[in-house]
Structure 1
Amino acid sequence: MEILAVEGYIDLVVFFVLLVVKIFAFSSALMYSAESYEAAGKLTKTTWCAILGIAVVAQFLLGGLLIINLAATIAALVYLADVRPALAGLYRR
């Protein structure tokens, strides 16, 4: 019985960590101008905001680690690892 409780707590922690990552990526995507995305050679701001917005909504509605949530998490991580540094690099120059 205790193992199931621990598993439930771990699932809850993973859910909230992934939710925070997706919300952070979405809010970060909203902060840069549309021209910045074009200058960095990335997908448009509208596209990234749509992808990340759907990722946040999917996390709320679908919950667990379904294939859709996995794809949404990967999209958020790609944004944070590739797109966000490219956009931030434009402002450091």
Structure 2
Amino acid sequence: MELLANLDGYIVFVIKWIAVPVGIYAFVHAVRQRADAFTAAGKLTKNAWLGITGVGLLLLLITNGPISGGAMFWLAAMVAVLVYIVDVKPAVMEVQGGGPRW
């Protein structure tokens, strides 16, 4: 019964630590791309996305996850990182001739 009493805490812990590698992936991907590909794809500049994904990763690391005093910051960081992955990354890859890579 102790496990069920703390189940929500375990779920939040797992969600928090699954989000961190997602943030790392988005930031590293942004670092490795050509700067001109971002503007050619009609997106913000590379430096802007490095800032967005970098701050997002930092917030994912330092906040206590989706249920805490910093929940809004965690959620905003997660949304920013996911926007990069689902919108910016495919557009940049297409401009560079790689097409969508999953």
Same fold by TM-score greater than 0.5: yes
2:55 corresponding residue in structure 1: 54
Residue 34 of structure 1 and its aligned partner are, at CA, apart by: 1.0
Q: How does 1:5-20 map to 2 (within 5 A)?
A: 5-20=6-21
Give the gaps of 5 or more residues in structure 1.
none
Aligned residue identity for 2:75: L
Match of 1:64 in 2: 65
- Aligned partner of 1:18: which letter? A
CA distance in 2, matches of 1:37, 1:47: 10
Q: CA deviation at 1:46?
A: 0.6
In the superposition, the TM-score normalised over structure 2's length comes to 0.83
Q: Does 1:78 align with 2:83?
A: yes
- State the 1:12 CA deviation: 1.6
Aligned mates of 1:16, 1:62 — CA distance in 2: 11
Which 4+ stretches in 1 moved above 6 angstroms? none
1:74 is matched by which residue type in structure 2? V
Equivalent pairs counted in the alignment come to 93
> Residue 6 of structure 2 aligns to a residue in which SS?
helix
Per-residue deviation, 1:45: 0.6
> What is the percentage of aligned positions where both structures have the same residue?
34
Per the TM alignment, residue 28 of structure 1 is displaced from its structure 2 partner at its CA by 0.7
Q: Secondary structure at the match of 1:43?
A: coil
More helix by share: 1
The answer to which structure, 1 or 2, has the higher relative contact order (CA under 8 A, 6+ apart) is 1
